[in-house]
Structure 1
Amino acid sequence: MQQLQEREIIAHNDIRVLTTAQLAESLNTKSSIINRNFQRNKKNFLHGVHYFALTGEELKRFKASRQNDVTLKYVSVLYLWTEQGAWMHARHLKTEKARTAMNALIANYFSTSKQFQRQEHLPIPYERFIEIERKVEWLEQQLREVTLHSGEQIRVRKAVAARVYELSEKPGSKSKQLLFRELYAALKERYQVGSYRDIKQYQLQDALRFIETWEGRL
């Protein structure tokens, strides 16, 4: 791995950042894994906080300043990762090597000190790391409590209506009114909520699948 003390400092909006290739190298992983984890957890990454996405003229200027970097040649969108973004990736990797490497990044790259090679840096204390982990877990728990917004509620209602009308076409089926009542009751029972509006956002896809396959009460 390239020595962090010798790495050229990249700054965007006066914030030190790393390209995806640099971050992957620093965390002992591959760029493809960094990209995959980002796509899978994109809702947890905030633009301007965890990363910057360069396109158009901004990207051209960045490429011009790093003409010897072959990893940028065919890039149409360039992601630059801040310290917070690097932390997120290190956490998603869930390896001791990634955590150790992140400590080195903080001490030797993201530090605001200019005396990298002479000043002794201590890695982030374990207690501080645990505190950060707990805060992230708390934020994730808060996200899991967010209920369906109006657009998602409409999707549920449309799915319910489609399923009810489909079932009502079967010979000997119950009335539409009864099917509507039973399906909404089934949703409330499945997700332990007082109304389908209280279903959590992360449960939406499961709810839509449940509606699509619901066969009605015997």
Structure 2
Amino acid sequence: MDEIKVLEYRNIRVLTTQQLAEAYEADAQIITNNFNRNKERYQEGKHFIALIGEEKADFINKNQNDFSSFWKAKAIYLWTEKGAFLHAKSLNTDKAWEVYDHLVDNYFEAKKPLTQLEILQQSVEVLNRHDREIKQIDTRMDKLEYDIPMYGSEADELSSHVKRKGVSVLGGKQSEAYRDTEIRAKVYRDIYDQIKREFGIYDDSGRPKSYKALKRKYIADAHELIDCYEAPTYLVELIEAANAQMHLGVA
């Protein structure tokens, strides 16, 4: 088939009815008749573009050497790749299907060389996309990083914080309550138990796990909980009773 003059409308490659007829070796009126008989199958903007009024005038002026005779036409129909397919289907000849395949490979799919500006714009788009993807990966990694148990050093710091709070609650290291290993152990255990309850540190069967299983994303909250810890009434009474004995002994 002869080389077809490339036509574009709003950056979409199209063919006129006459071009399509010549390519398919059919009469232009047959193309028009097939369209009129099957209008319900054709969607404007998808299969064809109908130019009228100023749009028609602009198109003719832009392509005046080839389409000056179109001034008398009420409308100019431009056919897209999908419109060319429907016409090939209506004609259903070997020639039409052969030409349609050729049009797809060598006309509709043919790409114009990119300008330097277009190359630059595409490069910027690729870099921006990569930047977004990297940020998404970093975000996922951060979430994963903070959704794992504490590191050893973080667990040690939490344990030290519990001990410091326990010493304070017991009345200091010189207090009788602190020297009483049973009371001291109960205070530490109660602090750890509150941490486990607050942050759900339990196994699948509902049994409490080691405080070291605390997820990293909760570390700051756990330290705040320790700072705000208050011993329950029964422990307060044990501590006060033990420390009262110390004062009595001094007296």
Larger relative CO (CA 8 A, sep 6+): 1 or 2?
Answer: 1
Give the TM-score taking structure 2 as reference length.
0.43
- Hey, which of these two has a bigger chunk of helix by percent? 2
